[in-house]
Amino acid sequence: MIVLPGRELMPVIRDALERGQSVSLTANGSSMLPFIHDGDTIELIKPRASLMPGDIVLAESAVDRYVLHRVVRIGENRVFLRGDAQKQCEGPLPRQAVLARIVTANHHGRVRVLDRGIWHWVGLVWMRSGGLGVSLLQFALYLWRLGREMRRRLLPSKKSSTC
């Protein structure tokens, strides 16, 4: 695997998208949980002429800093973004900061279509839930970690015992 800094990779991505090609990348981070996980392969396409709330986009949020977040609000030539696992919005960003729209995420061999269908609608509900979804996610992650720790403590180790 090759990891390139954004300043080297983004011009290549922009060129491919301008030619009408789709681009696949590996997502890095947890800001889009539970919809996009760290390590998921995402497919990018050129953004629509008119963005819509709920679209998941790749945007340049600062010089050489790129985020993969959901559009939560659109103003006059401005967009506000937020990661699904975050409570704070990012923006306003100029409309031109949006480089691509995410259409699919491949998570452990299962492809999720994020720009239409059930995953799109669930994403819209999640976005509109405000902080409730994030709080539920944090609670679910806490329970998952607690369960993992309890299994580790309760299940016998695989070491052979001598009786």
List, for residues 25-75, the tens digit of each pLDDT value.
999 998 998 889 999 999 999 988 888 999 999 998 877 788 999 999 998
Model confidence at 102, pLDDT cuts 50, 70, 90, reads very high
pTM of the model: 0.78
Give the span between the Cα atoms of 114 and 101, in whole angstroms.
10
Extended beta strands in 31-160, E state: 41-45, 56-62, 65-75, 78-82, 90-94, 98-107, 110-113
| Segments making up each domain of the chain, as ranges | 6-149
Other beta carbons less than 10 A from residue 69's beta carbon: 26
Give the span between the Cα atoms of 47 and 147, in whole angstroms.
41
Give the span between the Cα atoms of 83 and 69, in whole angstroms.
5
Q: Say which CATH superfamily domain 6-149 falls into.
A: Umud Fragment, subunit A (2.10.109.10)
Q: Answer whether 69's CB lies under 8 Å from 126's CB.
A: no
Q: Which amino acid, 107? A: H
Place of tokens 């996610």: 137
